[in-house]
Amino acid sequence: QLQLQESGPGLVKPSETLSLTCNVSGGSISSSNYYWGWIRQPPGKGLDWIGSIHYTGSTYYNPSLKSRVTISVDTSKNQFSLKLNSVTAADTAVYYCARATSGGPNDYWGQGTLVTVSS
Amino acid sequence: DIQMTQSPSSLSASVGDRVTITCRASQTISSSLNWYQHKPGKAPKVLIYFASSLQSGVPSRFSGSGSGTDFTLTISSLQPEDFATYYCQQSYSTPRTFGQGTKVEIK
């Protein structure tokens, strides 16, 4: 059974960089059929797609965040990562990592991790 | 970006009711439409993909229909465990935008 688990600091200061890692177990991240992505949910709001990566390194970002976001993959560790720089309080959210099929849904998700931006 | 608009934003229903949620895309997305159920403190769960395909393990009371720009999620007989927020998402192009959500509450 595929499992995804987010890890990283739960508190980040304004103007600093938010860094999260998603560890994938029970399957290989190096599959041509899947993309690995990040989705967030600010408190009281809906789901916001951040971006995704293929194991080959091809990345796709939400234009609303593109200037601040980097998603990378480490196939040797079977994990992928999110970096969001110059954060503000508006970046406070539960961050989920998830697998997506090509042209299809996000079918496996991590449990989510709350990241709060505050001094 | 493709904008996804759900209606209603919330609804109150009773156990056993038939519930219908609609989702409209700002441009055609063929059948690249997914539906998720989201409960507080849990990860979203995919119910329907490619507009009408039922995800493995999802009860048959959930169904989806539509193509092009207009889509529908139907719960044929609402059960207590179905009270949640439902989101549509287009997977036609990036960014893979979500609708704003529909909260299904107990009447």
Question: Which residue's structure tokens are 């507080």?
Answer: B40
pLDDT mean values, one per 10 residues, chain B (107 residues): 98 97 98 97 97 98 98 97 97 97 95
Q: Choose the mutation target among B30, B50, B94 for the interface with A, i.e. most A CBs under 10 Å.
A: B94
Q: What is the pLDDT of residues A50-96, one digit of tens each?
A: 999 999 999 999 999 989 999 999 999 999 999 999 999 999 999 99
Q: How far is B93 from chain A (nearest CA, A)?
A: 8
B51 φ/ψ angles, rounded to the nearest 5 degrees: 75, -40
What letter would DSSP give residue B55?
A: P
Mean pLDDT of chain A: 97
Q: How far is B94 from chain A (nearest CA, A)?
A: 7
Of A48, A51, A96, the CB nearest to B43: A96
Q: What is the pLDDT of residues A7-58, one digit of tens each?
A: 999 999 999 999 999 999 999 999 999 999 999 999 999 999 999 999 999 9
Spatial distance between the Cα atoms of B67 and B48, rounded to a whole number of angstroms: 13
- pLDDT value at residue B16: 96
CB B12 within 8 A of CB B107: yes
Give yes or no for a cis peptide into B8 (omega within 30° of 0). Answer: yes
Q: How far is A67 from chain B (nearest CA, A)?
A: 14
Alpha-carbon distance values, A83 to A2, A28, A103, B49, B59 (Å) = 24, 22, 24, 29, 37
CA A110 to chain centre: 10
Angle subtended at Cα B34 by Cα B33 and Cα B39, rounded to the nearest 5 degrees: 150
